[in-house]
Amino acid sequence: MAIRVLIVDDHVAVSQGMKAVLEHKADMIVTVLSSALETMKLVKEADFDVILLDLHMPELNGMELAQSILHEKPESKIVVWTGFDLAAHMNLLIEAGVYGFISKASSTEDIMMSITAAARGLSILPVSILRQLTKKVEGSHMKEAGEKESIQLTEKEQNLLKLIAEGLTNREISEALYMSQRAVEYALTKLFGQLGARSRTEALMKAKQYGLVSFQTL
């Protein structure tokens, strides 16, 4: 069964040329549009297996158009097709739900393979983008590990967390630890700062996440 492809690009000669190549070399039926507004109208009326979308469009930019299409039809399989660097838009596009990325400088075979893969529900990421994502994940893990290593709780802070977990108020904590309420408030502020927490619940969750407590927190 032929793959139904919609190419959205304001460079008509480029998209018409790609249409001719895809229909000649692959089992694909290709529709070409150069207007974001026309695209939205057609997407509401017809179904496509894959939408090949340029990022730089008049009326709506490619980012806005992708979001609008996915809002209208969340199941749409959009592959971003562009000649520009994707680094600045990569995270937003992935979060929006696009299926992949392909450079206009790619070979016809690579473009056909990307369309076919997307039609099958597979995501397409160039190696350059995959490396960027890998570096971000590694950096995130290193940061988290560094945060864990830098946090060391005193026995008093451990006891403070335990009493928080038991649901005691500041006044009750002050009585249990023989501290003034002002001292308890100061200790809590310091503890929250160490854990990067804004509430008692978040402090308990982070302490448990970092392995800083041995008792049941939640």
Express each pLDDT in 42-65 by its tens digit. 999 999 999 999 887 777 777 788
Residue 9 has pLDDT above 70, yes or no: yes
DSSP letters, 157-205, are HHHHHHHHHTT--HHHHHHHTT--HHHHHHHHHHHHHHHT-SSHHHHHH
CA distances from 134 to 54, 68, 94, 114, 146 (A): 25, 29, 14, 21, 18
pLDDT value, residue 92 = 63
pLDDT value, residue 204 = 84
Domains of the chain (ranges plus CATH)? 3-129 (3.40.50.2300), 147-209 (1.10.10.10)
pLDDT digits (tens, 9 = 90+) for 88-147: 556 666 767 888 888 888 889 989 998 999 999 887 775 655 565 555 445 444 444 444
Compute CA 41 distance to the chain's CA centroid, rounded to the nearest angstrom: 27
Q: Is the sign of the CA dihedral 119, 122, 127, 133 positive or negative? A: positive
Residue environment code for 142-155, b if the CB has 16+ CB neighbours within 10 A, otherwise e: eeeeeeeeebebee
Which of 9-23, 79-93, 152-166, 177-191 has the largest mean confidence?
9-23
pLDDT value, residue 215 = 55
Cβ–Cβ under 8 Å, residues 193 and 187: no
pTM: 0.58
pLDDT digits (tens, 9 = 90+) for 67-89: 899 889 999 999 988 776 555 55
Q: What is the mean pLDDT of the chain?
A: 80
Share of the chain above pLDDT 90, in %: 27
DSSP letters, 108-172, are HHHHHHHHHHHHTT--B--HHHHHHHHHHHHHHHHHHHHHHHH----HHHHHHHHHHHTT--HHH
